[in-house]
Structures are given as C-alpha cells and as structure tokens.
Amino acid sequence: MLRIKQIKVEVISDSKENLKKALAKKLRIDVCDIHHISIKKQSLDARNKHEIFYVYEVDASFQNEKAILRKSHSTDIQITPQEEYIFPTLGTKNLAHRPVIIGSGPAGLFAAYLLAEHGYRPIIIERGEKVENRIETVKEFWKTGKLNLESNVQFGEGGAGTFSDGKLNTLVNDKKYRGKKVFEIFVECGAPKEILYSYKPHIGTDILVSVIQNMRNKIITMGGEFLYQTCLTNLSIVDNVLKEIEINHSKKILCDCLILAIGHSSRDTFQMLYQKKLSMEAKPFAIGVRVQHLQDRINQSQYGDKYQKYLGSASYKLTYKASNGRGVYSFCMCPGGYVVNASSEKNKLAINGMSYHSRDSKNANSAIVVTVFPRDFGNHPLDGVEYQRRLEEKAYQLGNGKIPVQLLKDFMEDRESISFGKVEPVMKGSYQLSNLNSLFSNEITESLKESFPYFGRKIHGFDDGDVLLAGIESRTSSPIRILRNDDLESNIQGIYPCGEGAGYAGGITSAAMDGIKVAESIAKKYKAF
C-alpha cells in the first residue's frame, strides 16, 4: 500500500473515477493498475476562482508497488505509514470505587467511552437532561423565553457543542492519533463517513443528537452508567486526597477518581472548586459580536460564479491586529446557520452560532471577537467569570431579555437601528433592534470597528452597512484554567481536570481528545475496575 499526496481533481469533475484517473496520471500508470484506493485527506485549493481543485491524499494498492517506488523521486509518494491509535497498558493500582465523570460533553463522553471500553465501568454525572429531552427544552426556551437553568444550550448531554455547527477542525498536534480515534468513534455512532477525510469536517446539530445517543448506549453496554439532572455540589477532601463527592446537595458517593469535564459555563461549580482549594488561574478568552451575512454573498466572494453550486455554503477565517494591539478574529463560523440564544443564567444573555448538517439557511454567521486578558478584568481566578456575567447582564438589559441586534452601519455611527436592510435575522430566540456600542469598553468597541473595513478588503461585502450584528458572544472559551500536573491530576489527588471547561481545549475535537488523554492517564495508573 502506498500513500500519494497532491492529487488534484477539478471540483466540477470530482468523482471516485476521476480521482483514479488523476492518480494514474500522476504516477504515469494505467488506471487498471490501481487495485484499491482509500481517501485519507481532502483539501480545497480555491486560490484561483477560475479553476478550483480538490486536493487529495490517498492510500492505494497497485499491481507493482515496488516498481512505482523505484521510478518515483517525489516526496508525494511513500509507503503507507502505520497510523493506529493504541490505548496504553493498564496500570497495577486498585481503584476502591468506580471512576466518576462530571459532564457529558465531548471531553466527558470520550473519557467515558475509552474507560468503559477497557473495563472501568465509569459513572457519568450530568446536570442537564438526556440529549433528546434537552432538545425539546431548548426549543421551548427559544419559543417562549422560559429558561431551564440546569438544561439549556450550555448544560445537558452532548455539551455546548450540541448546539453549534458541529465543526471538527482542530490545530492540536496529534502524534498519537487520538483525533483519528475520535472521528472513528463518531462514524461508528452514526456520523457521516466523510468526516474521516474532509477538509472541513462537520456533523451538524441535527445529526449530532443521534450520534450522542448512540455513544451513550454503547457506553452503557460496555458497563458505564449515566445519572441525569444530577449536579456535583460538594467534595470531601482529607489530607489533600479526594474521598467522596456530593450530588444535588444531598446524596454522597464514595470516589477516589474524579474527572472534571464540566464545560466552560459551570460557574457555580468553578466557585465550589475554588473554595475547595483546587489550584486554578484566570486565563485569556475573547468577547465580541456575532455577524450575519447573506450566504450567497459569502459564496460569491469565496468561490466565484463557476463553482458555487458544487461547493455548498462557503466558510471563512479572518484575523486582524487592531492599532491598540488587540487581536480581532472570526470564531465558530457557521455557514448556512443560525444565531442562537445560548443563555444559561437568569437575567443574563449570551449567544452562539449553530448549523444543521445541510447548512442551508440563507445567512452565514460567525463571531467577530476581541481577545481579553486578566489585566482587563482582574487576576483573581474567578474574575473572568464575573466579567462575563457583567457583560451578559448588560446584553440582557439592552435587548429587554431578547437578543440585541444592530446594522453594521449604525454600529459604526453609534446609533440605534430602527429597521433591517438586505440582511434579515436568521435566529433561534427572540431579538430586538438596539445599539451595541454600550456593551463594551471603548477599547473593545474601537477594535471591532477597525476590523470590519479590513475584513471587507478580504471578503467583498463583509463590511456592507446592512450586515447584522448581535450580542453578546462571551463564551468563546473558559475564563479559567484548573491546573494539573504531568499525570493530568490536579493538586488534589484523585481529581483530573479535563476539556474546555478546565482550560485545555477549544472545540469538540480538542475536548474529545483531551478526554481520551485523561482516560489514558487514569488507565496507566489503575487496574480496570
């Protein structure tokens, strides 16, 4: 089996047969000499809008592989490397009790999956509802504004990523193929097979729901147990060692191995952990607005006329350094998506972006955010949490409990919007025209205003006056980091901080990979339960 890179196929003619022909041409062999072909990676070369290509990396078997290698002097052709995820050899220390995982987002679910798969029978504690019930609760919130504080866009099975675009991109260095394992498990549980090689893999909220259900059922089959509508409320620690946990302010569970996969919005849990003297620190994150454009306009700018119908809804990624030194960038871009009310606390408002698998709404949206640092809000570990809360309270008041929305031209001129132009809102949850200038400090506001003309030079029409802004995007990442040692254990023995909430991930895939990493660390130390 050989691995061949840089095989180009024009988007218009893309098919398995034409890929074979392009491979044969690259290797100067007959198509009939190719016995089998498997796509490993697909990327897109859209630098020339008049000729856009898919660029493939494939594993293929041939009639005479040695001869192909002998006559080739290209680094694009090599023997297919071994790329297999390997779980570590199990440890020798006895666990007194079943490991407990707090949270069933990507980090918690994948930690649970790997531990269950290897005989540890984990207990997964989730403050929210099962994903199928949670979906109905969230729909009711978007319809009526009635917020369930324990089960919402942030809390519940599947985590905050359930109501997102379901993007699976990550920049994590993956020498141990944890990311490959994550994708394989997703596909086993019902995700589209294309995520294994796609240049921009995503699942979408609608499909992700059934994938999560299938993961849950597999974990249960392998010996795991789920407790829903169950919140971690206290820890019992003796001589710096975890002894038991309290749930729902009442029941106690003996516990000597606890994974904290709590997500970036479990603010009450952060407070309790701080009081229990877990080492933590404030960390940078980003705040800003979510912008909506007509998806057709983004498609035109990114792909031109010729290729739009072949490539679906286009995405983008933008960065800018403001004159005051602040970084401004696009975040969680949702092609053909929706802006959603993602609030989780009473009288406070936060938003996010979401797409279904088809990405077929008329608007594109993404967050345009500005980096903030502990110097902006204070160095106490929980100061970032309070900073987010203050901003979300202002957003709630600004929109009278609804999502505050403003046209870009009015934002730039600091005046309240009174009507919509070419772009109309595509949202989940009620909205109200407003003036977003009062949300942020002058420094943040000016950074945002500076960025739009620059982005407009990168993507035609990005800074059109009728473009819509909504606030506030405040949950880009956790405002804290719970410190852990080389064995991924906190300063309290038996507690393993994990995933995005603990400050070690920034999306579905990286959180899932961190969950696997923590499961490995526990397995290296302990016997299966």
The answer for residues whose C-beta is within 8 angstroms of residue 393's C-beta and 6 or more apart is 347, 348
Average pLDDT over residues 351-374: 96
pLDDT of residue 529: 83
Tell me the C-alpha distance between 6 and 23, whole Å: 9
Residue 171 confidence (pLDDT) above 80: no
Model confidence at 241: pLDDT above 80: yes
Q: What is the DSSP letter of 63?
A: S
Residue 119 has pLDDT above 80, yes or no: yes
Q: How many residues does the chain have?
A: 529
Contact call for residues 231 and 248 (beta carbons, < 8 A): yes
Rounded CA gap, 55 and 53, in Å?
A: 6
String of b and e for 294-333 (b: at least 16 CB within 10 Å)?
Answer: bbebbbbbbbeeebeeebebbbbebebebeeebbbbbbbb
pLDDT of residue 151: 97
**Angle formed by the axes of helices 106-117 and 205-221, nearest 10°:** 30
Reduced to 3 states (helix: H, G, I; strand: E, B; else coil), residue 223 is: coil
Mean pLDDT value of segment 336-341? 98
Report which residue type is found at 39. Answer: I
Tokens representing residue 240 in the block: 């710096």
Q: Which two tokens stand for residue 287?
A: 């705040």
Lookup: tokens for 493: 């023995």
Q: How confident is the model at residue 309 (pLDDT cuts 50, 70, 90)?
A: confident
Q: What percent of the chain has pLDDT over 70?
A: 100
Calculate mean pLDDT across residues 304-330.
94
pLDDT computed for residue 308 by the predictor:
85
What are φ and ψ of residue 327, in 5° steps? -85, 135
Share of the chain above pLDDT 90, in %: 91
Q: Taking 90 as the threshold, does the pLDDT of residue 326 lie above it?
A: yes
Span 500-506, mean pLDDT? 95
Pairing relationship of beta strands 2-10 and 77-79 according to DSSP bridges? antiparallel
* The two three-digit tokens of residue 436, written as one number: 């977003």
Highest mean pLDDT pick, 56-65, 171-180, 304-313, 511-520 = 511-520
* Mean pLDDT computed over every residue of the chain: 96
Judged against a pLDDT cut of 90, whether residue 9 lies above it is answered with yes
Q: Which two tokens stand for residue 363?
A: 């608007």
Range(s) for CATH 3.30.70.2700 in the chain? 2-79
DSSP label of 93: B
Q: Considering only residues 419 and 199, tell me which one the structure prediction assigns the higher pLDDT.
A: 419
Angle, in degrees to the nearest 10, between helices 106-117 and 178-188? 90
Beta strands in 295-342 (DSSP E): 319-321, 327-334, 338-341
Torsional sign, CA 344, 345, 349, 350: negative
Enter the CATH code of domain 2-79. Answer: 3.30.70.2700
Give the CB-side neighbour count of residue 86, counting CA atoms within 13 A.
6
Which tens digit of pLDDT belongs to each residue from 20-56?
999 999 998 999 899 999 999 999 999 998 999 999 9
Query: How is domain 100-281+480-525 classified at the CATH fold level?
Result: FAD/NAD(P)-binding domain (3.50.50)
Give the pLDDT of residue 395: 98
pLDDT of 452 higher than 80: yes
- Work out the burial of residue 246: count CB atoms within 10 Å of its CB; fewer than 13 is exposed, 13-18 middle, 19 or more buried: middle
Rounded to an integer, what is the distance from CA 273 to the centroid of its chain? 24
> Tokens 């407790």 belong to which residue?
227
For the purposes of burial, counting CB atoms within 10 Å of the CB of 171, is it exposed (0-12), middle (13-18) or buried (19 or more)? exposed
Q: pLDDT category, 343, cuts 50, 70, 90? A: very high
CATH 3.50.50.60 in the chain, residues?
A: 100-281+480-525
Per-residue DSSP letter, 361: S
Burial of 438 (0-12, 13-18, 19+ CB in 10 A): middle
| Longest alpha-carbon distance in the chain | 72
Q: Are strands 100-102 and 258-260 parallel, antiparallel or unpaired?
A: parallel
Integer Cα distance of 281 and 131 in angstroms: 31
Q: Does the structure show a pLDDT above 90 at 128?
A: yes
